[in-house]
Amino acid sequence: MIDWEIVVDNLPAFASGLVNTLILLVTVIVSGFAISVPLALVRATRSPYFSGPVWLFTYVIRGTPLLVQLFVIYYGIAQFEFVRSSVLWPLFRSPWFCAWLALTINTVAYTTEIFAGAIRTTAPGEIEAARSIGLSRAAVLRHVIWPSAWRRALPQYGNEVVMMMHATALASTVTIVEVMRVARDVYTNYLVLTESFGVAAAIYLCLTIGLTTLFRRLEKHFLRHLSRSDTSHTSGQRAERLNPKVA
C-alpha cells in the first residue's frame, strides 16, 4: 500500500526539512526564553506603569492568529518605503528572519504570561525570609524567586515548546522548506498521502514524543523535591486565559 520507493527517494528532502524545522525551533525557543524572562519580571511587578504595557503586548499577540502575525511581518513591513530603503531591508526581505521574528514574538507573549504567573505565586514568606537575612533585591530574584517560579512554570512551558514546534509548520507559507513544505511538495509531485503527509506526521509525532520526554526528564530533575505529588501535564493546549494561580 505504501510506495516505499517514493518514501526512500524523498528521505533526503525530509531530512533537510527536519533540519530546517529544528533550526527554526531552536532559535525561536532560545531567543523567546531570553526575552521572556526579563519581560515576565516586568509583567509581575505591582506597578501598572510597568506591567501594563507588557500586558497589552501579550494581550494583542495572544488575541491574534500567528498566521496573521507572520503575514504582517513578511508581507506587511515591505509596504513602508522607509524600511525598504533602510539597512534593515535585507533582514525583512528574508523569509527566515521574518519567520523567526514572528514565531519569537508569538512565543514571547505566551511564555511571558506563563513565567509571570509563576513569579506572582511565589510565597510571600519566602521573599520576606530572604530579605530579612540580608539578601539584596537582585539576589532574592536570582536565588529565591526565579528558581521556584521556573519549577512551577515548567509543565506549562514544556507545553508551549511543543506548541511552537507545531507552529513552525506555518513557516511553510512563507517559502521556508521545512518538514511541512517538503510534505506539500511531495504531495504535489506524486499525489500520494501516506508517502507525503504520512511521513511528515511520523516526523512530527517523533518530535512531540521527544520533546515531551525531554520535559518529563526536566520536571523529574527540577521537581524531584515534589516527586510524590502529581505534576500531571496539562491538556496540551495553550492556556488562552491564564489562571493567575498556576501552582
Partner 1 sequence: MFQGYLPMILEGLRVTLSVASVSLAIACFIGLIGASAKVYGGRGIRLSATAYTTVVRALPDLLVMLVVFYGGQILLNSISETYGWGYLDVDPYIAGVSTIGFVFGAYLTETFRGAILSVPAGQIEAGFAYGLSRSQVAFYILLPQMIRHAVPGLTNTWLVMLKATALVSIIGLDDMVHRAGLASAATREPFTFYALIGLIYLAVTTVSVLLFGAVEKVSSRGVRSGGAA
Q: Which is nearer to partner 1, 115 or 204 (CB)?
A: 204
161-171: b or e for each residue (b if 16 or more CB lie within 10 Å)? bbbbbebbbbb
In the complex, the smallest distance separating the C-beta of residue 133 from partner 1, rounded to whole angstroms, is 33
DSSP classification of residue 79: G
Q: Which is nearer to partner 1, 41 or 211 (CB)?
A: 211
In the complex, the smallest distance separating the C-beta of residue 95 from partner 1, rounded to whole angstroms, is 14
The answer to whether 92 and 77 have CB atoms below 8 angstroms apart is yes
Q: Which is nearer to partner 1, 132 or 237 (CB)?
A: 237
In the complex, the smallest distance separating the C-beta of residue 55 from partner 1, rounded to whole angstroms, is 13
DSSP classification of residue 237: S
Alpha-helical runs (H) found in the chain: 4-43, 48-62, 66-71, 81-84, 89-93, 95-120, 124-132, 137-140, 146-167, 179-190, 199-222
In the complex, the smallest distance separating the C-beta of residue 175 from partner 1, rounded to whole angstroms, is 14
Helix (H, G, I), strand (E, B) or coil at 229: coil
Q: Which is nearer to partner 1, 117 or 151 (CB)?
A: 117
d(CA 9, CA 5): 6
In the complex, the smallest distance separating the C-beta of residue 169 from partner 1, rounded to whole angstroms, is 4
d(CA 150, CA 221): 12
Q: Which is nearer to partner 1, 41 or 179 (CB)?
A: 179
Residues that bind partner 1 (CB under 8 A): 59-60, 63-69, 71-72, 75-80, 166-170, 172-173, 180, 183-184, 187, 193, 197, 200-201, 204-205, 208-209, 235-241
In the complex, the smallest distance separating the C-beta of residue 44 from partner 1, rounded to whole angstroms, is 21
In the complex, the smallest distance separating the C-beta of residue 243 from partner 1, rounded to whole angstroms, is 8
The answer to whether 242 and 119 have CB atoms below 8 angstroms apart is no
Q: Which is nearer to partner 1, 38 or 75 (CB)?
A: 75
Give me the DSSP letters along 120-171. Answer: HTS-HHHHHHHHHTT--HHHHIIIIIHHHHHHHHHHHHHHHHHHHHHHGGGG
The answer to whether 212 and 165 have CB atoms below 8 angstroms apart is no
